[in-house]
Amino acid sequence: MTVQITVTVNGQPYTGDVEPRLLLVHFLRDGLGLTGTHWGCDTSNCGACVVHVDGTPVKSCTALAVMCDGHEVTTVEGLERDGDLDAVQKGFAECHGLQCGFCTPGMMLTARWLLDRDPDPDEARIREAVSGQLCRCTGYENIVRAVRWAARHEAARAGAGTEARAGTGDGAAGGTREGTGP
Among 78, 101, 116, which residue terminates a domain?
78
* pTM as predicted: 0.84
Cα dist from 88 to 83, 116, 146, whole Å:
14, 11, 7
With respect to residue 136, please indicate whether it lies within any of the assigned structural domains.
Answer: yes
Same domain, 53 and 107: no
Same domain, 85 and 52: no
Q: Determine the pLDDT at residue 138.
A: 76
pLDDT at residue 153 is higher than 60: yes
Over residues 129-152, the mean pLDDT reads 92
Same domain, 89 and 159: yes
Identity of the amino acid at 70 = G
pLDDT band at 41 (very low <50, low <70, confident <90, very high): confident
pLDDT band at 29 (very low <50, low <70, confident <90, very high): very high
Start-end of H helices in 19-175: 24-26, 87-94, 104-117, 123-129, 141-166
Identity of the amino acid at 59 = K
Highest mean pLDDT among 153-157, 158-162, 166-170: 153-157
Task: Identify the CATH number of the domain in which residue 71 sits.
Answer: 3.10.20.30
Identity of the amino acid at 101 = G
Same domain, 96 and 46: no
Q: How many domains would you assign to the chain?
A: 2
With respect to residue 175, please indicate whether it lies within any of the assigned structural domains.
Answer: no
With respect to residue 174, please indicate whether it lies within any of the assigned structural domains.
Answer: no
Residue 95 is classified by DSSP as T
User: In a 3-state reduction of DSSP, which class is residue 127?
Assistant: helix
Q: Determine the pLDDT at residue 161.
A: 65
Q: Report the candidate in 144, 5, 138, 108 with the shortest Cα–Cα distance to residue 66.
A: 5
**Using CA atoms in the order 158, 160, 166, 169, what is the torsion angle rounded to 10 degrees?**
180
Same domain, 49 and 118: no
With respect to residue 74, please indicate whether it lies within any of the assigned structural domains.
Answer: yes
pLDDT tens, 117-134? 999 999 999 999 999 889
More confident residue, 25 or 176: 25
Q: Determine the pLDDT at residue 163.
A: 54
Task: Identify the CATH number of the domain in which residue 115 sits.
Answer: 1.10.150.120
Provide the domain limits for residue 72.
3-78
Same domain, 87 and 161: yes
